[in-house]
Structure 1
Amino acid sequence: TWLEPDPISRCFTDGNLVTGAAWPGHPEFIAQLMTLLGIQVSF
């Protein structure tokens, strides 16, 4: 399934796949990947 990355920083999770179109999406990519892996960070 194609999802339009608008804005370009948008990332998508589909099952075990996390994908992003460009480097501006790195923060959202990491957040979605951490959620998928069950990682929690607390300070």
Structure 2
Amino acid sequence: MKKSCSVEYYHLIYLRLLKILIFMNTLSRKRDQKQHLHLVKS
């Protein structure tokens, strides 16, 4: 019982980290697109 609880706990942490990673990835990608647009305009 205790073991499965810890597994679920780690799974939740893993999912949260994954969400944060994806979020950061999309943010940086948006920033890159903006910079790219600026480069194209100038």
Q: Where on the TM-score scale, by shorter chain, does this alignment land: which range?
A: 0.3 to 0.5
- Structure whose CA Rg is larger: 2
Structure ranking higher in strand proportion: 1
Task: For CA contacts below 8 A with separation 6 or more, give which structure has more relative contact order.
Answer: 1
Structure ranking higher in helix proportion: 2
